[in-house]
Amino acid sequence: MRTQTVPQRTYRSYFTDSTYWDDYRPRPGDIVISTPPKVGTTWTQRITSVLVFQSTRLPGPLMEISPWLDCAFTPLDRTLETLEGQRHRRFIKTHLPMDALPVHSDVSYLIVGRDLRDAAVSAHNHALGTSRAADRLPPGPTGDDVHTPVHPPVPEDVHEHWRDYFTRSAFPWESDGWPFNSPTHHLESWWRHRGEPNVLFLHYQDMLDDLDGQMRRVSAFLDIPVDESVWPELVQACAFSDMRSGQDQIFGKGAIGDAATSFRFFHRGSSGQWRGIATEEDLALYRAAMEPLPADLRAWLARDA
């Protein structure tokens, strides 16, 4: 299998360890879902799952079937054993940008974006939840190259979080996304490759507005034919309300599953949450973080900008 690119950066923090990808052995047809946090990652995994299995019922929890390979909380050997043992078409989650991944020509890449003002609000809910559940999780990686080696404190005040989110990163070479890595860098790293045949961009708003149509886009991209006899059932299973009520199919047992279900993992599943929250000062920070992005990427992310 031809490798398109090799990693240019190493991301190691309390949350993630990009070196885990060094042991990944790709198979033709693998699917990698690469997203910044809180832009529709689990939603895209769920969509992919019903397409791969052609069923709303999965052979196990989604988070186990579709592992987060660079998750620092999960032992690498367990994740690799899971992937090696799978005989269905594999689909893997990552929060890493393109320049931190090995990219292969026979692997398909689903990239998801969202208005980052809404992502900031959802990330606040998520970071508060993970900080409160931190004592349930295994320790992260260690070493001199690990940034933010423990779960950073998360302010209760959403405006303080907003300021951090748009002005800091867990990694010193990035400028936003705190306490995670940068959503702007993540999306820009893939944006220049969006015309390549194994890369597909999805937007959270499009999925809200036309779930059926966006699922058909993914089906065509992955070359998985639509079975119209079961299609309405598959689409309904990917509605946000169904995912929220069926969390037993999403999260497995153990530390990570327990931590994820200890707070409202699925926040609101809507757009425009920021409108009743962000002040003019907040929005100025957002615009400054967006300014370095290509104009077409800015317009794509913020549909009303």
In 3D, which of 175, 168, 191, 28 has the Cα closest to residue 97?
191
- End-to-end Cα distance, the chain: 41
DSSP 201: E
Quick one: which H or E segment has residue 104?
strand 103-104
193 counts as catalytic: no
DSSP code string of 49-76: HHHHHTSSS-SS-HHHHS-BTTBTTS-H
Tell me the two tokens of residue 254.
């153990």
DSSP code for 202: E
Q: Please, where are the H alpha helices in the chain?
A: 41-53, 62-65, 76-85, 116-132, 158-167, 183-191, 204-209, 211-221, 231-237, 240-245, 255-260, 280-290, 295-301
In angstroms, the CA 258 to CA 235 distance is 27
CA 148 vs CA 15, 118, 141, 142, 181: distances in Å: 9, 24, 10, 10, 11
Side-chain-facing half-sphere of 15: CA atoms under 13 Å? 21
Q: What is the CA radius of gyration of the chain?
A: 18
Please tell me which residue in 88, 95, 126, 147 is annotated as part of the active site. 95
Catalytic residue positions, numbered: 95
